[in-house]
Amino acid sequence: MKIRIGQGYDVHRLVEGADFWLGGILVPHTHGAIGHSDADVLIHTICDALLGAANMRDIGFHYSDQDAKYKGIDSKILLKDVVKMLREKGYEIGNIDATICLQAPKVNPHIPAMKKCLAEVMGIEEEDVSIKATTTEKLGFVGKKEGVAAFAVALITK
């Protein structure tokens, strides 16, 4: 069996009044992330980790932010497509471990719903999707509530 690992990193700006899509769910908050798609930083990070593990470039390569087709798109559609591309190459997902960096709101209460949602989208067990959250102790753009960042690693097998 071949085992491969990939990592992902993504950042989105936070603005007042925007919807806050995170980990496939809508998080109630005064501010939300903005971008060309629905700006779901966690899903984008996971897509990049999976694509990286398979050496298939990155999310921007497959779904250009210059393409009107992806304007406002639900990132779950992109993740589903990434997983489909991996499976077509003969890969299966082993596990995913992700960290969300966000000053506010508290993410922990939403993690079970995110895990359930993302496991469903990827067609894997919830047990194989780990989501963690941290603030940055009020330091940097995350700490100043200007943005949200996320990291992920993914393990895939063939």
Catalog residues that contact Zn ion under the rule CB under 5 A.
10, 44
Helix (H) or strand (E) holding 86: helix 75-88
Give the ranges where 26-129 is alpha helix by DSSP (H).
41-53, 59-62, 75-88, 111-122
Report the residue number, 36 or 132, with the smaller CB distance to Zn ion.
Answer: 36
Burial class (CB in 10 A: 0-12, 13-18, 19+), 65: exposed
**84 strand-pairing partners:** none
Shortest Å, Cβ 125 to Zn ion:
25
Helix (H) or strand (E) holding 118: helix 111-122
Shortest Å, Cβ 37 to Zn ion:
7
Report the residue number, 61 or 126, with the smaller CB distance to Zn ion.
Answer: 61
Residue 81 token pair = 């497509």
CA dist 3 and 26 (Å) reads: 33
Query: Which residue has the closest beta carbon to Zn ion?
Result: 44
Report the residue number, 19 or 92, with the smaller CB distance to Zn ion.
Answer: 19
Report the residue number, 85 or 92, with the smaller CB distance to Zn ion.
Answer: 85
